[in-house]
Structure 1
Amino acid sequence: MIGRIRGILVEKTPGQALVECGGLSYEVDIPFTTFYHLPDPDQEVTLHTHFVVREDAQSLFGFASRLDRDLFRLLIKVNGVGPKMAAGILSGLDAQQFIRCVEGRDIASLIKLPGVGKKTAERLLIEMTDRIKHLEGQFIPATAGIDGGVTASPQLSISAHNPADEAEAALIALGYKPQEAARAISKVAEEGMTSEALIRLALRNMIPA
């Protein structure tokens, strides 16, 4: 089991980070909530990870905090929730927001997540109510270090010729329908906005805080 990776961030895109460690570069699948905290390329980054092995693929998932990683591990134990859906859930809600949804029985916020229908949302509320108790006592520092996760950069940016297209593609990759992604981006788009800012605002509007 690969529980943590520390190295130099080579590249970052919504959904994936390339981290060089010990002469090897690892492709790490990340939720959007972790992408927002990544430093600029060529800087050191630390991610808490979970290694998924299947017959047809091996995937390394990375998270900004141990709390997000531990919640991911609990989510994939829920019937019908695989690693991709769990990462999608953590792209729309970080661990603390998800915990508040479960504690508040907020099914409306859960069904707005890509791939989560009413039945899945109800199952999440039922099965996660007891499981999240195992997360008590954990927290996410405002500025995480080696033990807390990635070191955040005050200014985050990703290069793109068209930020709106980049943002739409990221939402579609997350699981939203093209029409939903285009509509969400058009509602928040303003001149000069980066693709990351567009993604963040679009998700905020689609998923209530």
Structure 2
Amino acid sequence: MIDYVKGRVVHWDTEYVVVDVRDIGYRVFTPNPYSFAKSDDDVTIFTHHHVREDATYLFGFTTREEQSMFRKLLEVSGIGPRVALGILAGGKPESVAAAIKQENIGFLTKLPGIGKKTAQRMVLDLKDKLDAFHTGFASAAVGLATMDDLFSEPEGNADGGKAWQEAREALMALGYTSAELERAWHSLQETVKPDETVDSLMKRALQQLFKG
């Protein structure tokens, strides 16, 4: 089991980073690859070593909390590594844990790749297994309590169609400001395709936000 890797990030892609560890490059799939883009120093990436019959993958995280939540999510029927990564790209561990503990299906279904049935399974399978994620529950609960207001009264630029509005509302619920999202949209709008999905727009917007 590879618990973490420490080295210099030498390459970024939309889904992974490559970490040079003593002249060996490890490809590590991570929720937000561009969160590592601002440092030329060595970084520590906490990993989950995932082995299948046909492949071996490393999934990486900036904190132990993300690593632990990722492993908890894999316990849910129907959630694989890719969906678990998408969840952590869309929400912080304490916010996801708070939503599960509060059975907040509305919040969970705003996360990438999560429908109502999967959200219900998350609550059923994990509600009593998240005591370790108590840190930040109070502030997370405040944010979740106002979600309906955020979703019913979005502010700012109304351009971009329904997909962007849904992506924007979900990102606002995760703590991003209108100004930050307007800047992200400004960078994205010329390349948005008519059939682009909410999940795709959220992922691309997050890349822009982490680039700063």
Q: TM-score range by the shorter chain?
A: 0.5 to 0.7
What is the correspondence of 1:13-92 to structure 2 with a 5 Å cutoff?
Answer: 13-32=13-32, 35=33, 37-40=35-38, 42-92=40-90
| Structure 1 segments unaligned to the other structure (5+ residues) | 140-161, 170-176, 189-193, 201-209
**1:37 is paired with a residue of what secondary structure?**
helix
1:123 matched to 2:121? The reply is yes
The answer (yes or no) to whether the contact 1:49–1:61 under 8 Å persists in 2 is yes
Specify the alignment match of 2:108 in structure 1.
110
Identical residues among aligned pairs (%): 31
Deviations 1:163-195 (A, max 9, x none): 4279869xxxxxxx724368779xx8xxxxx95
Name 2:95's counterpart in structure 1: 97
Instruction: Go from structure 1 to structure 2 and tell me whether the alpha carbon gap of 1:55 and 1:110 turns closer, same or farther (over 3 Å shift).
Output: same
* Residues 55, 76 of structure 1: alpha-carbon distance in 2 compared, 3 angstrom cutoff: same
Larger Rg: 2
More helix by share: 2
Please say if residues 66 and 93 of structure 2, whose CA atoms lie closer than 8 Å, have aligned partners that are also in contact. yes
The gaps in structure 2 that reach 5 residues or longer are: 138-185
- 8 Å Cα contact 1:168/1:182 also seen in 2: no
Amino acid at match of 2:78: G
Q: Which position in structure 2 is the counterpart of 1:132?
A: 130
How many residues end up aligned between the 2 structures? Answer: 163
1:7 aligns with 2:7: yes
TM-score of the two chains, using structure 2 as the length reference? 0.65
Deviation at 1:44, TM superposition (A): 1.2
Q: Relative to structure 1, is the Cα distance of residues 199 and 77 closer, same or farther in structure 2, using a 3 angstrom cutoff? A: farther
Cα deviation, 1:122-154, whole Å, max 9, x if unaligned, reads 010111111112445699xxxxxxxxxxxxxxx
| Equivalent in the alignment of 1:146 | none
